[in-house]
Amino acid sequence: MNQRRQQKPSYLADIVYSLLSVHEIRKQLDSLTAVAVFRAFVYHIHTLFLFTRSDWKTIFFPATTFGTVTGPISSFDKWLLMLVWVWTHLLQANVSNQKDSANEDIINKPWRPLPAKRVTESQARALRWCLVVLNLAFSYWIDPKVMYVSLALALVEIYDIRDGATLIASPNFTLDMTSIQAIILSGALIFTTIHAQDFADVEGDKQSGRRTLPIVYPEGSRVYILTMLIGWSIALSFFWGLGPICGAVFVLAGTFVGMRYYMKRDVLSDEGSYRYYNMWLLLANTLPGNQRFNVLHL
């Protein structure tokens, strides 16, 4: 009897210990699941960021600066809304552009999601159409006028992002004459200087069979970008009424970038020139603010 009594507590202890062990295992599994979910979330967010990485300096910052100044922005909430709208539409445009360019990007931009094997081409196509639907719904929620810009963006890709940013930033989602003039000039500026991004990608573009301006006209394209940057700098300075000092600084900035493209012709230099081009473009997008605030009259 005494032996049985001694075994009973031991038996109960084993049961309790087993239950506690199962509970601890479940806690560990739950912890591992939470970690796995978090890691997967971070991985996919990073993938989305990689789709837009090369266009933060070329599209995101210039477009949001343009919208902020040209709108002009009327509240902090609208500014945040504009940032999200610009990024989601930039993502949509980039997924659409990159879904069929994996072979070209292996050479020029191997970190992009498709050449890096983070997503497949079929997944990229599905993501593109999901983004079209989500962005249309998001834009309609902001205002039906913004949805029309989103619809146009689905058709012509990247060139309407500045229009949408300006419309969201503007009071009552309406554009005045300054905004309209700024949008037209910005579109013309981008259209006539966009090949500035192609100089550093010549080797990869050649292997993929693309015929960019620097490939077809290696000398003429550099003369052209030099001429356009100086010409636009002078024209925008006069159009937006810059003062003599501010105008001279802006023209000198455009001349510096243009001369750098013309004089320095290796890949690393072209990459550096493109960064300077984007800084000049960012400055150009702030010039419409002079008509509203008269801050560049010096």
Residue 177 in this model has a pLDDT that exceeds 90: no
**Residue 274 burial class via C-beta count within 10 angstroms: exposed 0-12, middle 13-18, buried 19 and up:** buried
Domains 13-175 and 176-298 share a fold: no
Q: What pLDDT shows up at residue 3?
A: 46
64-102 b/e with 16+ CB inside 10 Å = b?
bbbbbbbbbbeeeebbebbbebbbbbbbbbbbbebbebb
Tokens of 89: 């539409």
pTM of the model: 0.65
Higher pLDDT, 74 or 278: 278
Per-residue pLDDT averaged across 186-199, rounded?
A: 86
Q: Where are the domains of the chain?
A: 13-175, 176-298
Higher pLDDT, 178 or 252: 252
In this structure, CATH architecture of domain 13-175: Orthogonal Bundle (1.10)
Grade residue 223 by pLDDT with cuts at 50, 70 and 90. very high
Q: Are 13 and 21 in contact (CB under 8 A)?
A: no
124-153 b/e with 16+ CB inside 10 Å = b?
beebbeebbeebbebbeebeebbbbbbeeb
Neighbours of 211 (CB within 10 A): 8
Residue 255 in this model has a pLDDT that exceeds 90: yes
* CATH class held by domain 176-298: mainly alpha
Tokens of 93: 């445009």
Least-confidence region, from 196-205, 221-230, 245-254: 196-205
Q: What pLDDT shows up at residue 1?
A: 45
CA 218 – CA 222 distance, rounded (Å):
7
